[in-house]
Each structure stands twice: as structure tokens, then as C-alpha cells.
Structure 1
Amino acid sequence: MNFELTKEQQMIRDNVRKFAEAKIEPIAFQLDEKNIFPEEIVNEMGDLSIMGLPYPKEYGGAGKDVLSYAIAVEELSRVDAGVGVILSAHTSLGTWPIMEFGTKEQKEKYLVPLASGKKIAAFGLTEPNAGSDAGKTETTAVLEGDHYVINGSKVFITNADYADTYVIFAVTTPGLGTKGISAFIIEKGMDGFTFGTHYNKMGIRSSATAELLFKNLKVPKYNLLGKENEGFKIAMQTLEGGRIGIAAQALGIAQGAYEKALSYSKERVQFGKPISRQQSIAFKLADMATKIRAARFMVYSAAVLKQEHKNYGMESAMAKLYASDICLEVVNDAVQIYGGSGFIKGFPVERMYRDAKICTIYEGTNEIQRLIISNDILGKPKKEPIEENKENKVNKAKPITGNRRRVIIKEGSPKEKVDAFLNYIKSENIDINKSEASKGSIADADKVCSIGLGLKDKKDLPLIQSLADTVGAELGCSRPVAEEREWLPLDRYVGISGQKFGGTFYLAIGISGQVQHLKGIENAGIITAINIDEDAPIFKSSDYGIVGDLYEIVPLLIEALK
């Protein structure tokens, strides 16, 4: 057993550290504050062969080992964890399954540009109703001739629309749970493949995280990765390696926070001496260093096991579990050592404190890691046999807003759609003719008209305000309209972290219907929607809806209600 790095591994550590300190550290605050994806930095990482460290040279990689890759993630995360996870998601999640399960043709077409850093990869498994329980996947892939037609969505996807190549998972044989899931390689730009808005995350803000949307996405049959219905196996094996990357990320965050705290404690003088010489602080530093050293050996040993093609699933789970847990402890102590300064933006430990938490969540929560470890120790419990769904239906979870009527008006002219819509509303005995608006908060309102990103320009807001006035409703909006575009005040934002609406009538205009928004209207009486996309999630959570251009529908609604 060798506890020292080879000269080559040490050289990789030194080079990546030098790169991170010279190129990333000076702009880390801006990347975090403005939520900027560092495209130029990632391009340079490709030029330096960092993006393909563990892959063979014949496929464009650097031909190094898994430990060298883990060291690179660690060193990047020591400075900026967002950049560290860009590399981890690209290398461990998006690229590895193509290397391991791809055909020769798939490797030549996709692996070469990924391993050489010319393109970026991403991995799409998680869905709104399929997080830790991947068996609840709802995205479907139906074989039609020489193509699979994919419909559904993925959430919390790292690298998102900055990636070029994606490995995603969909149900090909409904009713079989995890045994009916297949893996596919898809490309940005394919018809029917779009992206949701970027998440406004607490940490790792230099990485891009967004939703992947599939609407009748046609994927060539030869883009099936591995065999049909073996996608779950591919996903689980991929995640085993991915946990090494996240463990390395947590290790890097902890190392960076520890170094900052150590340096500060030597400079900060209280009671006539550096606080590092106060026993309470000295003991904190001792504990931090001990935890980091233990975590490093766990991470490195898992990487070596993977490189040697030995079983490493339990070890990678242990490394991810322990490294992320102690990372939280170390950054907490680092902030404590900084005192009030550690609570102020601009001090790296404040950012590291926010970055650390995600390491206990993604690539399998730490609760799932404990399940993996315990199953390895005790043996997996026997599962009840899966009864095939004779109606051949895909998993469908109950909508967030409960069971709704889902009457969606697609046919007819815009005027005919509006007339039909108003007849339905009339049948509910809801008066949406002009009445005195509450002029108060959205939470206290009886009626609300909310606008989303379907509105093209701020100058068009008076159109929506006019409809709200005509209906006698408060004007609301989706989170991006208030938070990112700043078109309306924050107290107009309806959603899980915004205003909650439980009144009689809610009209969502140009709002896609992401989970954050739906949680804010789950107790609404009647939910209605106007959206140009008939597959917009908002329709699945609505009572009535119109498929159409809001710029056509809204003026007609105003006219009909006057």
C-alpha cells in the first residue's frame, strides 16, 4: 500500500493548483455573485487535457489514471467548487458511460470530442418524481421505425445548456420499474430538445444547472447506449464512479476552507496573540486537519480501486458519505474561526460554506449512501416481485396541485378558444368580470393573473396588467420574472419561496409550470393557463387552459370581458 503520490500525479496536482490559483481564484467571487458559467476557463481546461484525464489517448484523452482525475477535481474545488463539479459531471457522469458501454462508432463520434475537451458532457437521470427512486422515471422512449421518440423532462442537470452531449434515461418498457429503463445519447440542437430556466442555487453558482425538456425528440436507434432496458444498470454503475468525483469535490472544499482558516488564525490577534495559539482554535484546526487527512485516504483508495477494475461501489459510497459530512463540519469551523468576517460576502469561506451542502445531496443523498453501505455489509433485502402493469402504463405521480380537470382547449380560432374558455369558467360559477381588486398581497387575493417568461419584453407588461384589472385580480409572476429580469417586485413572485395563493381563481400566462411555481398555487380553487406549448407542465396541473399565443389570446380575453 502506497500512501504517496507518484511524480506524475504530484505534477498533475501542482499544475492544476497553479491553474486554479492563477485563472479561477481572481474571478471566483464574480462567478459566484453573478452566477456565471466560466466558458473560457473550461476551454482552457480542455487545452490542458484536464477534461479527459482518465481516458485513453486513442480516444482523445490524456491517458492518466482515475486518481489523477480525482486530484484535479479536488484542486479545482479547493478554489471554486462550481468549476470542480463542471469537471466531475463531464468526466464521471456524461463521458464515462459512453466509454464503458458505447459501441466503437459511438466512441469515435462522441467520446473523442468529449475526452479531448472540445465538447462538454452532461447526465440526465433525475426527474421531479424520480430522485433517489429512479424506478419512478416518467420520461418515455417509444421505438418508431429507426428512431426512438422521447417525451419528458429531467431536473437539476449540471452543465445543462452549456453541454453538447448528454446521456439520458427513459422508460422503454412501461410497467417493469427499473428493468424497463434504457439509456440514450442525445445532442444539443436535436429537434424537440430544449432547456428550462437556470436554477438560482445557494452554492456552486459558477456551474450551470437547469431542466432538460423533451417534446417528441427523435433519437436515432443507434444512439441507444448499451442494450434496451439495461439503462438502470448503466446509471447505477455510472453513479458509483461519480461519487468519487463528488467526494473529491467535498475534499477540495474542505481543504480550501481549512487553509483559509489556518492562514487567518495566524494573522488575527486577540488577547495579545494570534488566535491560532488560543487552545480552542488550535484544537479546531487539529480536528479539521485530521478529518481532511482521513477523507483524502478514503477518496484516493476508492479511485485506485476503480482504476484497478476492482469492486469499489461500497468504498466510493463511504468516501462520498464521509468526505461530504466532514466537509460541512470543516467549513462550519472555518467560518467560526473567521467570526463575523466569515459571514460576509467576499470572504471565500462564506462561499465555501454555501458550496459544501450540495455534496451531501447529489450523486445520491448521504442517506442513500448509508443504504448502499449497509446493503453491502448485510446483503440486499429480498424484493417483492414486480407485477407487470397489464395496462402498460408509465409511472405517473399525483400532480402537485392535486387532481385537476385538465380541460385544454387546442382546436379552433383564437376567438373560439377564448369563448370556450369563458364558458367553462362560467360553468364553475366564478365571476371574472370586472370587480374591485383587493390591492393587497397575493396571499390575500381572491383572483390572480400571473405572467411568466412567455412575455417577450417588459414593455408588454401593461397588456397583462390590463387583463388583471379587467378580471379584478392581483398581478403576479413566476420567479425568473421578478428575481432575474426584475420586471416586477419580489412580492409579486408566486412560488415555493415566494407568495402562496389559495384564492378562487388563478390564471398562469406564459408560465411553463416548474415545481417551484406549482408549489405556490397547490391550494388554489380553479387553476387556468395560457401557453403556446401544449406540452407545458402547467397544463397537467390546471383545470382549464388555452393553447395559444398570449399576444393573441390576452387581448381577446380583455375584449370579451369588457
Structure 2
Amino acid sequence: MADILRGGQFLVKETKCDAIFTPEDFSEEQIMMRDSVKEFVDKELWANKERFEKKDYAFTEECMRKAGELGFLSVAVPEAYGGMGMGFVNTVLVCDYISGATGSFSTAFGAHTGIGTMPITLYGTEEQKQKYVPKLASGEWFGAYCLTEPGAGSDANSGKTKAVLSEDGTHYKITGGKMWISNAGFCNLFIVFARIEDDKNITGFIVENDPSNGISLGDEEHKLGIRSSSTRQVFFNETKVPVENMLAGRGEGFKIAMNALNVGRIKLGAACLDAQRRNITESVKYANERIQFKTPISSFGAIQAKLAEMATSAYAGESATYRAAADIQKRIEIRQEEGNTHQEAELKGVEEFAIECSILKVAVSEDIQNCSDEGIQIFGGMGFSEDTPMESAWRDARIARIYEGTNEINRMLSVGMLIKKAMKGHVDLLGPAMAVAEELMGIPSFDTPDYTELFAEEKEMIAKLKKSFLMVAGAAVQKFGQELDKHQQLLMAAADMLIEIYMAESTILRTEKLVKKVGEEKAQEQIAMAQLYLYNAVDIITKRGKEGIVSFAEGDEQRMMLMGLRRFTKYVNMPNVVALRDKIAAKLISENQYCY
């Protein structure tokens, strides 16, 4: 176990399929957990979908209480504080399947279990945890997170809310306003970030929601989607907070906020998965039932192509999310074996894979938007109507690209964090990048390789795609050094290359592992999805790599790199993508649901 890859090392080291965790590896306990969550969602949420669209905030709160009674709010909470104390994969699993019906409940659940409860679990004192976490784990109390301010968006550390120590030193008085606060309308407790004096960094506080203590709320926001998620402004006017309710140390609020975002990012990716599965199932059912030109529209190639691409993205998202979740869990277990506390192990375990968390946040949030958009298109005019589930699914999906740091920020973060890891010696980028530069100067082999083994060419293609990233990123770092972060469009192009490499590799490794288990014959559609995803990834990497190269290289250097990019993105045997889509869609249509 101790030889598992570190975060970001997927780019420079080969991963064997046996080393990753996949949904096909769920234990009996995990399958039971998944099925009980699905039963809750079908019975309580999906069956009452229209109530969430009518801004029934009380119903969201009622469903949250039921989720608490069933234990779903306590999966990640240690047993010592009234939780189930399950591993990180189980946390992601529950987040995945509980989020499929409606973004309103998904947001309430994520805000409470993640940024509402987790900061106390991971940063609180023993007294703070004993006092607050059991109530949050059971659903007796609900939590909210007050970070964003009207003048501050992505710059989380720029808040102006002040915390002033009382003359007798017993409490702080917090004054300021926060906005976009999920669960504000029914929470019992806020995690509030404020600045003490002129500190460089903000400080976190646990603040009980008592209107008589200078706390007031704005009206419910009217939003594009997540309509029954309570979202309000929160105002603090000399709100008294005991000094013992400071979270971690003075000036450590920014660190709390950043680490909460790392966990939130992978959980946000997970929270988009079951929404995709349900959108695909609804789209398949409709396509099978909708008759045009005397035949179901599911028999039309244009519709089949959409269904196949939707399913492929969902399958890839599952593959990468559970791969990363298990890697994080292994790292947490290793740290605990080395003597770290639960807090230290979980914080460092997630931080280790912060790059992968950002990758997943971007990739899966964009996939759910595309999936719901294509769902509307399959439904046609009916898809635009509130009478079908696609309209609300599309609106709910839109926020996912903004939550937990916008996708633009997460793109730049993923590359920036990778370069920082390289500078610290945690990921050797320099050696492989120099090897690629030398390879470009050499004469390429013109031998035709023998790809008799399943996925032999695909795995070689993944290795070549990694070279394409190392070529572009290596040259960019060499040219701009510390100034690279000023070249945002270049960083965005490099990030898209990085994202597609991780997603494509995860999909191929999952499928290779499945084939070893059940044989090629029983995994034909999964093989097709892995090949189709890679084909699409190669296209994206070719386009974004070209953009990156021409943005900073000229003359012979540019010609050399563009030639290298062509070499690294060239198939020997180009897959028949139409045939791949046909195969994937045929299975969906015959099963009348997402069935992978």
C-alpha cells in the first residue's frame, strides 16, 4: 500500500489497472449503502421533484432531517462524535447517489456535510467537536458556511468582515455581511470567516445562529436553478462569539477554507454523477417512446450519437472519481498507520490529491451540463417545458461550474499545483520533460507496432499524450518561470490537456480491470466507451496543445513542437467512432436505461 502514487504522479508514472479502485469493486457493505441511498432518493426526492422547483424550502429541510435519521449525514463523521466513521470512498459514494434527483437537495446536503460540519471535525478542538458534531451528524442541527462577501468572489482571503476582541478578552464581536450562504434559512450554526485587526489572513469561528445576537438574514435569493436550496445573505452586527469558538488558530481561516475546498471539489464531481445517470435514463426512455416518421427516435443515428456520448462521459466521470477517492483513502490510511490523528490524516490525504480534485471538479461539472443540455435536445420541444425533468436538470447543473472555485480557477490551480509539487520534488516533471525534449530531436521510429493485446495502442496513446503535456508545460515553464501564472490562456490550455489525460487513463484502466474480471465478450460496450473517450480526448489535446504552443513559441522551436504534437497524437489504427457510438447506444436502448 505504501507504494501508491502521490498526487499528480499519474502524469509521469505508469498506473496498473489492478492498482485502481472502480465501481465494480464495491463491497457488499458499499452496495447496501448505495441501494439504501437510491431508495431514499427515489421515494423522498425524485417522487417529489416538482416541490423542489416551487421553492419549497421547508420540504428541503424536512428531507434533510430524514437523511439525518437514516444516517446519511454522518458517514464521514468519526464514531467518537456520533458518526459512522466510514472511509473516504463511502463518503464519495453517498454524495454521488444522494445527489441525483435535484440540485436543491444536493446543495443542502453538500453544504451541511461538507463545509458546514467538516471544518469542525477536522479543525475543531476536542470540546468543540463534542459540543457540535454529534448534533450536526444526526441532523438535529444544520450547518452553513459564511465565506463569500459582496465585494469578494474568487479571492477568498479578501473579506472585510471584522472580529474585534472584547475589552475583557472573553469574546469577539463580529461585524460584516456574507452572501450566497447555502442553508442560511434553516441552519443552527455558521462557520464564519472574519479578519482580526489587520491580519494578513482571515480567521474561522463557530457561530450559533441566534437572531437576538446581532444576526439577521436577507430574503431568499431568486436563482436560475437549485430553487429550493435556501440561499440568503447573512449580516452580523457586533455578534458576540466566545473566544473558545475560534476554529483552529488566529489567521488560519484561509487554510481552513482552502482545504475545505479540496474535499468539496471531489465531492462536487461525485455529486454530478448520479444526475448524469438519471438524465441518460430519462433520455433513453423518452427516445424509445417518442415516435416520429413512424419509428422511435432512438432508432435514429443522430439520437444514438448523443446517447452514446452522454453515457461515455458519465462512465469516465465514475472511473476517475472513484479512482481518486480510493487513492485519497489509501493515503489517509497510510498516515493513520504512521501515527497521524484522524484530523491530520484526512487533511493531508486530501491535500495530497488536490490536483486530481480540481481535475474532477472541472471535468464532471462540465459533463453534467453537456448531458442535461443534450437531454433537452433529445426531448425536443418537451425538453424546454417544466413538465419534463430535463429543464430543471439543466438549470440545476449550471451552478456546478461556479461552486467550489470556478472552473477557470480550478483549471489554473491544477497546473499551478503540479508545478509547485515539481519544485518541491514531490513529482519529477523536469526529468521526463527533458527526456521528451531530447526525443523531439531524435529520429522517430517508422516501424509498425504490433497491437495484439487489448488496449495496447490505447495505453501507448496515453503515454504519448503525457509526453505532449510535458512538452508544452516544460517549454512554458522554461520560458516564463515564475511569471507563468500571468499567462492564463496558456495555463487553461495546459489544464485541458492534463484533465483529458487523467480522465481518459482512468476510463481505460477501469475497463481493462473489468475485462480481466468478466472477459472481453461481457465488456464490449465498456471497451467501446473507453476507446471513444480517448478518441475525443486526443482531439481536445491536439487543439489545446496547438493553442498553447503558438502562444509562446516561434520559428524553429514552434515547428519542432507542432511536429512533436502531431507525433504524440497520431493513431496507428484510427478507431471507427461511429461504430463505437452505435454499440454503446444499442445497449442503452435495449436496456431502456443507463446500464453501465
Match of 1:353 among 386, 394, 406: 394
What secondary structure does 1:106 align onto?
helix
Q: How many residues are aligned here?
A: 380
What secondary structure does 2:163 align onto?
strand
Q: Which amino acid aligns with 1:2?
A: F
Aligned partner of 1:365 in structure 2 is 406
What secondary structure does 1:130 align onto?
coil
Higher helix share: 2
Aligned partner of 1:533 in structure 2 is none
Matched, 1:218 2:240: yes
What secondary structure does 1:351 align onto?
helix
Deviations 1:362-394, CA, capped at 9 Å, x for gaps: 1111011112101022239859xxxxxxxxxxx
Matched, 1:232 2:246: no
Deviations 1:204-229, CA, capped at 9 Å, x for gaps: 11211111110011100000000001
Aligned partner of 1:67 in structure 2 is 89
* 2:21–2:326 CA contact under 8 A, matched in 1: no
Deviation at 1:165, TM superposition (A): 1.4
Q: Quick one: distance in 2 between partners of 1:139 and 1:264? A: 50
Structure 2 counterparts to residues 101-500 of structure 1, below 5 A: 101-144=123-166, 145-174=169-198, 176=199, 179-189=200-210, 191-308=213-330, 309=332, 310=349, 311-379=352-420
Deviations 1:463-505, CA, capped at 9 Å, x for gaps: xxxxxxxxxxxxxxxxxxxxxxxxxxxxxxxxxxxxxxxxxxx
Q: Which amino acid aligns with 1:243?
A: R
* 1:125–1:134 CA contact under 8 A, matched in 2: yes
Of 82-91 and 60-69, more deviation after overlay is shown by 60-69
What secondary structure does 2:98 align onto?
helix
Of 102-111 and 266-275, more deviation after overlay is shown by 266-275
What secondary structure does 1:167 align onto?
strand
Rg larger in 1 or in 2?
Answer: 1
Match of 1:92 among 97, 106, 114: 114
Q: Quick one: distance in 2 between partners of 1:286 and 1:197? A: 43
Q: Quick one: distance in 2 between partners of 1:306 and 1:85? A: 23
Deviation at 1:173, TM superposition (A): 3.7
* 1:93–1:122 CA contact under 8 A, matched in 2: yes
Matched, 1:6 2:27: yes
* 1:181–1:229 CA contact under 8 A, matched in 2: yes
Deviations 1:428-470, CA, capped at 9 Å, x for gaps: xxxxxxxxxxxxxxxxxxxxxxxxxxxxxxxxxxxxxxxxxxx
Q: Quick one: distance in 2 between partners of 1:41 and 1:202? A: 22
Q: Quick one: distance in 1 between partners of 2:287 and 2:74? A: 38
* 1:73–1:85 CA contact under 8 A, matched in 2: no
Q: Which amino acid aligns with 1:58?
A: A
Q: Quick one: distance in 2 between partners of 1:259 and 1:64? A: 30
TM-score (norm 2): 0.62
Higher strand share: 1
Aligned partner of 1:15 in structure 2 is 36
Deviation at 1:77, TM superposition (A): 2.2
Q: Which amino acid aligns with 1:181?
A: I
Deviation at 1:343, TM superposition (A): 0.4
Gaps of 5+ in 1: 384-562
Aligned partner of 2:549 in structure 1 is none
Going from structure 1 to structure 2, the CA distance change for 1:68 and 1:269 (only over 3 Å counts) comes to: same
What secondary structure does 1:363 align onto?
coil
Q: Quick one: distance in 2 between partners of 1:366 and 1:47? A: 34
What secondary structure does 2:172 align onto?
strand
Deviations 1:123-178, CA, capped at 9 Å, x for gaps: 1111111110112211011112211111001100111121111111111142x5xx
* 1:85–1:246 CA contact under 8 A, matched in 2: no
Of 149-158 and 73-82, more deviation after overlay is shown by 73-82
* 2:359–2:414 CA contact under 8 A, matched in 1: yes
Q: Which amino acid aligns with 1:253?
A: A
Q: Which amino acid aligns with 1:18?
A: E
Deviation at 1:73, TM superposition (A): 2.4
Aligned partner of 2:69 in structure 1 is 47
* 2:21–2:323 CA contact under 8 A, matched in 1: no
Larger RCO of the pair (alpha carbons < 8 Å, separation 6+): 2
Q: Quick one: distance in 1 between partners of 2:277 and 2:173? A: 46
* 1:17–1:76 CA contact under 8 A, matched in 2: yes
Deviation at 1:182, TM superposition (A): 0.4
* 1:173–1:180 CA contact under 8 A, matched in 2: no
What secondary structure does 1:161 align onto?
coil
Gaps of 5+ in 2: 1-19, 333-348, 422-480, 484-596
Deviations 1:84-108, CA, capped at 9 Å, x for gaps: 1211111111111101110000000
Q: Quick one: distance in 2 between partners of 1:248 and 1:106? A: 29
Aligned partner of 1:556 in structure 2 is none
TM-score (norm 1): 0.66
Q: Which amino acid aligns with 2:152?
A: A
